[in-house]
Chain A
């Protein structure tokens, strides 16, 4: 059984902060992107394959396949960063039996018309419900954009 070293909501999925700071900080050797839309987009998948540094394995799957992979199919040596775009996706994984102890929010909904949670991280009413549910079931949910910053517990923000 591998280890989930970081489960992160970041609607940019793979970008500078993840590629540089978090890979380095967590020592991960695998990135699993769980996003139904990306999993169906061959072009995005090919691009993501090519920007991931050599030596890091990448899997891109929908919630269904992602949950099977994270629950049952990880290699013992896998140190995995899981990237999703929304609380809905994490909630889906948890629902399907993936054990998630901590959830990092690194980038979500930087656009108008949503409620501000912290800095440029915003939530919808549905997001709040899902996050609260996860917090109540014992998941440590926090905002931390880059490893260098201090973690802020979401329970204190909503």
Chain B
């Protein structure tokens, strides 16, 4: 199964997984990593690298990070020189739920990451605007 690493600033990654598991149940082949104030960036990089290696059962690893240009993003990008993972920025619940629901039936990491991307984008709506004609 395609593995997932959620890497973010602070406890966001843990919180996202916690919320997702409430909806679709306990997950395997998944890890979270949070960067806090006191962490050294070298240590964080090492952890990301090791997690990518340890999670991969041959189907690949999809890394979900929070902000484009942030450390989790930059480190995932840097590691791409030697590793084959795919990384997507802007992780949110719709994206995570899509990935976790689809991956048991999808072994194509490229396809999964594209679906993750569109679910993440489509899950963002201004609901007052969307439902304006009903209010």
Contacts and interface: CB of A to CB of B under 8 A. Distances in A.
Contacts of B101: 20-21, 24
Instruction: Provide the main secondary structure of the chain A interface.
Output: helix
Query: Chain B contact residues (Cβ within 8 angstroms of A): what range?
Result: 10 to 19
Interface string A30-57: 0000000000000100110010000000
A149 interface: yes
Nearest to A53: B122
B24 A21 contact: yes
Contacts of B24: 17, 20-21, 24, 146, 148
A43 B134 contact: yes
A24 B24 CA distance: 10
A20 B23 contact: yes
A17 B25 CA distance: 9
B33 interface: no
B23 A149 contact: no
Interface string A118-158: 00000000000000000000000000001111000000000
Interface of A: 16-17, 20-21, 24, 43, 46-47, 50, 146-149
28 contacts: A16-B22, A16-B23, A16-B97, A17-B23, A17-B24, A20-B23, A20-B24, A20-B97, A20-B101, A21-B23, A21-B24, A21-B25, A21-B101, A24-B24, A24-B101, A46-B134, A47-B131, A47-B134, A50-B130, A50-B131, A146-B23, A146-B24, A146-B25, A147-B25, A148-B24, A148-B25, A148-B26, A149-B25
